[in-house]
Structure 1
Amino acid sequence: MKNIFRPAVALIAAATLIPTLTAAAPPPGYPSRQIMGYATDTYGASIPIRLGFYDSDADRGFGKDKAYYKHNIRSVSSIQFVIRSTNAEKQGTQRVYHAWAIKKRCVRGVCWAEKQIKIRGVAETAYKSVYYNQTVGGRLGSMTTYCEGTKWCPDWVDYALSGGGSTTASVDRDSTSGTDDSASIAQKLKSGEGEVEFYELTYSEPGAPVKETCDEVVNRIKKDNRSSFIQD
């Protein structure tokens, strides 16, 4: 029987989010200024990722809440990955970061790109005492993270970004969970045992999608710690 490598239960649960989330103006005392994490960008600036807020009625906000509720970028680690991009530019006190997520499929040892999405992150490096009536009292940090060309990022984009750097995949095979490294997965694919979907991440604009052997994919993943080998 053909084996298909599937995500762990936690990823399946995450994928059940309704693809239209709404959020109202934050209530008094909402901890918008709370820092959820940091990322150092290519210019050496330490960028805070604040909880922030998102008001869908007014379409305004910042931080993790805006990335989550408006764009379906749910994890702090996803925002951190984009901020660390070497593909960045300064716009006054703001920074704009770019990254690409590529969804690939491998069948019987041959892999090809199915989808490719460009992700943009924006951060404010200036001190803000108040922003949108919310107390900040420091560097504002991450303003937003989103997929270009669509308001709502597909779920797989957040999976890819949040797992950036992984070179192993959790495998659910015939109700038995285990962990296979990329080399053993490649061997299974070449032997025709199954198929796998995975994501590659890059800070440089990728070229046109091309077919390649699973060995070529695995060798690149081992050389590039910004790539992830994560199943869908």
Structure 2
Amino acid sequence: MLELPRSASAAPWWNKKERCSSVDPEGREIPTRIGNAELGWNHFSGRHNIRKCDLVNIPLGGQVDKKDGANLEYYGYVTNRAHGTVKIVVKARYARKTDDGRYDAGSGKKIGVITAYCKGMQKCPNWVNQ
């Protein structure tokens, strides 16, 4: 059987379909794509237990808290009387490709949310999703 040579820089598969989207105060539309196990909704909903679009969109609705070129970070807080307050960190890439060039959102599109998590913990507590 004849095998074709494989490209050493083949991009990993990821689902580019948008799960949620938000616009920050500076007018940047930032999608949260379904993604895969490395980035996007499929990454952080399982690994970090964030399962509601609001937990991503609310921080994105505020000012950028940290900026490094096209890499943006937004912070938000979830409060529950019985459990206290948790800081939500949302990291987004406002560019067509990721820093390493492995992912490409396509012409005129942005990568969007790469990950979201609760600061200081591996998994967010279940109550944040209520």
Q: Which residue of 1 aligns with 2:48?
A: 71
CA distance in 1 between partners of 2:101 and 2:46 (Å):
17
Structural mapping, 1:190-209, within 5 Å:
none
Shift of 1:91: 1.8
Residues 113-156 of structure 1: CA deviation (Å, up to 9, x unaligned) = x4221111111001128x77555212100011100110100011
**1:50 counterpart (30, 33, 37):** 33
Aligned to 2:17: 34
1:104 aligns to what? Answer: 81
The structure where strand makes up a greater share of residues is: 1
2:70 to 77, 80, 93: 93
Q: Does 1:149 align with 2:120?
A: yes
**Structure 1 87/158 Cα, relative in aligned 2: closer, same or farther at 3 Å?**
farther
Question: For the residues of structure 1 that align with 2:104 and 2:69, how far apart are their CA atoms?
Answer: 22
CA RMSD of aligned residues (A): 2.4
**Gap regions ≥5 residues in structure 1:** 1-28, 55-60, 106-113, 160-232
Structure 2 gap segments, 5+ residues each? 1-11
- The one-letter code sitting in structure 1 at the alignment partner of 2:116 is T
**1:158 and 1:87, CA in 2 relative to 1: closer, same or farther beyond 3 A?**
farther
State the alpha-carbon separation in 1 of the partners of residues 46 and 101 from structure 2. Answer: 17
**TM-score, length basis structure 1:** 0.45
Q: Per-residue deviation at 1:88?
A: 2.4
Contact 1:64 1:76 in 2 (8 A): no
Q: Residues of 1 paired with 2:36 and 2:115: CA distance?
A: 11
SS in 2 for 1:51: strand
What amino acid is aligned across from residue 117 of structure 2 in structure 1? Y
When residues 120 and 65 of structure 1 are mapped into structure 2, their CA distance, relative to the original with a 3 A threshold, is same
User: Cα distance, 1:96 vs. partner?
Assistant: 0.6
Distance in 2 (CA, whole Å) between partners of 1:89 and 1:43 is: 14
Structure 1 residue ranges, 4+ long, deviating more than 3 angstroms after superposition: 131-135
* Rg comparison, structure with higher value: 1
TM-score by length of 2: 0.77
Instruction: Say how many residue pairs are matched.
Output: 117
Whole-Å separation in 2 of the counterparts to 1:73 and 1:119: 9
**Alignment partners' CA distance in 2, 1:86 and 1:103:** 23
Q: 1:41-99: per-residue Cα shift (whole Å, max 9, x none)?
A: 12220001111111xxxxxx111111101100012232112211236232211111011
Question: Does the Cα contact within 8 Å between 1:39 and 1:83 map onto a contact in 2?
Answer: yes
> 3-state DSSP class of the match of 1:33?
strand
The Cα shift of 1:31 comes to 5.2
Q: Give the C-alpha shift of residue 30 in structure 1.
A: 5.7
Q: Distance in 2 between matches of 1:37 and 1:117?
A: 21
Identity of aligned residues (%): 25
Show the counterpart of 2:105: 136
Match of 1:122 in 2: 91
